Amino acid sequence: MSGIVHGGNLSAARVRYGEPAGGWLDLSTGINPHGYPIPPIPPDAWLRLPEDDGLEALASVHYGVIDPRAVLAVAGSQAAIRTLPTLLPRGRAGIAQIGYSEYAPAFARAGHDVVPLPESAFLGDLPKDVQHLVVVNPNNPTARLLPAETLRDWHTRLHARGGALIVDEAFIEAFDDGPTLAPQAGMPGLVVLRSIGKFYGLAGARIGFTLAAPELLTALREALGHWTVNGPACAVVRSALADTAWQAATRAQLQAAGARLSALLAGHGLPNVATPLFAWAPAAHAPALHVGLARLGIWTRLFDAPVSGVRFGLPPDETGWQRLADALASLSHSA
């Protein structure tokens, strides 16, 4: 547990580097810095225990899920990541070597044999020696994005092996017509996780959705217990999922910002792969780059094994963009 590192850990930056004169510019996450504007929360959301208020039915329409029974609201994807491995048949679980760090320990704790997979394994055919496979699409941090047809084929073959395909689509909503498997949710052997924290910028609400066969969701619901998602979060997310105008405008803004970030990094000698919410810059000097930026008050996410690279999130305003540009120029001139 203590060895798992996530972005957004500004407390660690402050302990190591202190507080910069201009404050910290936190680019260590892939969270939309301009999150959904919080609407007024009905008093009943605070006064009553959460109950079925149509949120899951609304989510099923939003995500294109045919069977509304195939949607379960959970306390962030994290709740499902920790619990789902205990509900799957024990087997060999393929998980990316460089990716979201919670999956491997969750499967290991549940008694699965974890098979670390290099990035090349996801660019070829389905690995032959795994029963379950976790695919974060796009991958965090490498931004690898697999087509839906590939994932549908892999799901069919994994299900034939008695296993499951788990597709984490935490960042997919920022894409136009992203390769989602949500419409196939409800098929045995397929689990799709959708996040509210990234695109909507509501990470603190701790709410997301698990899309899967109703039988599996029944078991997951029983394992998680009652009232796992708080009422105020449900009220906010209900508004966010229904606000299609905000979604369309935000998607366009994020895509422009992602392209701008990619161009800025490339212009300072950092080839990268970008999504609308973050950019991944693999580089041999990634540790030095991360430290150099931290000393200038810019906090990024460093990955130093098995591939060395830095993940950059989006600056929140023009001051942040200029600060990042100035810092990159300063470090490139001093190299």
pLDDT digits (tens, 9 = 90+) for 216-256: 999 999 999 999 999 999 999 999 999 999 999 999 999 99
- Please answer whether residues 192 and 172 qualify as being in contact, where contact means their C-beta atoms are separated by less than 8 angstroms: no
Count how many residues are written for the chain: 335
CA dist., res. 99 & res. 307, Å (int): 11
CA dist., res. 148 & res. 130, Å (int): 20
Q: Over the Cα atoms of the chain, what is R_g?
A: 20
Six token digits for residue 248? 């369309």
Counting beta carbons within 10 angstroms of the beta carbon of residue 209, is it exposed (0 to 12), middle (13 to 18) or buried (19 or more)? buried
CA dist., res. 160 & res. 263, Å (int): 43
What's the mean pLDDT when you consider all of the chain?
Answer: 95
Asked whether residue 1 carries a pLDDT value surpassing 50, the answer given is: no
CA dist., res. 288 & res. 272, Å (int): 17
Phi and psi at residue 290, in whole multiples of 5°?
-60, -45
Residues 85-116 pLDDT 10s: 999 999 999 999 999 999 999 999 999 999 99
AA letter at 112: H
Burial state string for 231-264 with b = 16 or more CB within 10 A and e = fewer than 16: bbbbbbbbbbbebeeebeebbeebbebbeebbeb
* Closest-CA residue to 281 (of 271, 291, 289): 271
CA dist., res. 285 & res. 237, Å (int): 41
pLDDT given at position 2: 42
CA dist., res. 170 & res. 184, Å (int): 17
Q: Which domains does the chain have, with CATH numbers?
A: 10-35+245-334 (3.90.1150.10), 43-242 (3.40.640.10)
Average pLDDT over residues 36-65: 94
Q: What percent of the chain has pLDDT over 90?
A: 90
Average pLDDT over residues 147-160: 97
Residues 303-328 pLDDT 10s: 988 889 999 999 999 999 999 999 99
Residues 173-210 pLDDT 10s: 999 999 999 999 999 999 999 999 999 999 999 999 99
Average pLDDT over residues 157-170: 97
- Please answer whether residues 300 and 335 qualify as being in contact, where contact means their C-beta atoms are separated by less than 8 angstroms: no
Assign 281 to helix, strand or coil: strand
pLDDT given at position 335: 57
Asked whether residue 299 carries a pLDDT value surpassing 50, the answer given is: yes
Q: What is the DSSP letter of 132?
A: E
pLDDT given at position 334: 66
Could you identify the residue written with the tokens 């547990």? 1
